[in-house]
Amino acid sequence: MIFLLFTNCSFKEVVKHHGVPFLEKKQASLIVNTSNKNDIRKVLGNPSTTSKFDNDVWIYIERKQTQSQLKNLGRMKIFKNDVLVLEIDKYGILKKKSFYNKDDMKDIKIAKETTAANFKKNSFIYSFLSSMRQKLNDPLGTRAKKRKDINQR
């Protein structure tokens, strides 16, 4: 029994990799105001995420996770989390390059403010959406009929 237990255990760390491997090394070959979209795709492949504002923004991610120690019951622990943000102008030329690693992520401040809802319970929008939700949840009105029957008894 003990033999089976030890033969199934692995002393080698299991690493789960997501995104572009060796992102930090590969991004060094990209030169601002010189590299274009084709160069970027040749080095890094297609972006993990894209966005369109004034310029194109391409985001590349590399994340490596491993199982933590036995005392944490094998939960996954992130040991590498790199993000590369590339801004490309309308001509396809790389205009800005920002690289963030796991330590840089700790310095990013996230706003804790929330946006308040603009409608009140007495507003037309609230009553309209409430009635639509009620109709979606109970299209035949069977719940209302059952409540009415129970109240009459």
Tell me the pLDDT of the chain (153 aa) as tens digits. 666 555 555 566 677 888 888 988 999 999 999 999 999 999 999 988 888 766 789 989 988 888 765 555 667 777 788 889 999 998 999 999 999 887 776 666 666 777 666 655 566 667 777 777 777 777 666 665 666 566 665
Same domain, 95 and 148: no
Asked if residue 35 is part of any domain, the answer here is yes
Same domain, 128 and 89: no
Asked if residue 112 is part of any domain, the answer here is no
How many residues in the chain? Answer: 153
What is the C-alpha to C-alpha distance for residues 17 and 81, in angstroms, rounded to an integer? 10
Asked if residue 32 is part of any domain, the answer here is yes
Same domain, 73 and 20: yes
What is the C-alpha to C-alpha distance for residues 23 and 84, in angstroms, rounded to an integer? 8
pLDDT value, residue 136: 73
Closest CA to 100 of 83, 80, 78: 83
Same domain, 123 and 102: no
Beta strands in 30-102 (DSSP E): 49-52, 56-67, 76-88, 94-100
- Measured at the CA of 134, the angle between CA 132 and CA 140, to 5 degrees, comes to 105
**Which residues form the domain of 67?**
9-106
Same domain, 96 and 126: no
Domain count across the chain: 2
Same domain, 89 and 135: no
Asked if residue 34 is part of any domain, the answer here is yes
Closest CA to 31 of 79, 96, 83: 96
**Number of other CB atoms surrounding residue 94 within 10 Å:** 21
Asked if residue 113 is part of any domain, the answer here is no
Q: What is the pTM of this model?
A: 0.59
pLDDT value, residue 72: 57
What is the C-alpha to C-alpha distance for residues 20 and 137, in angstroms, rounded to an integer? 44
Same domain, 30 and 89: yes
Structure token digits, residue 37: 């979209």
Same domain, 63 and 99: yes
pLDDT tens column, 62-104: 888 887 655 556 677 777 888 899 999 989 999 999 998 877 7
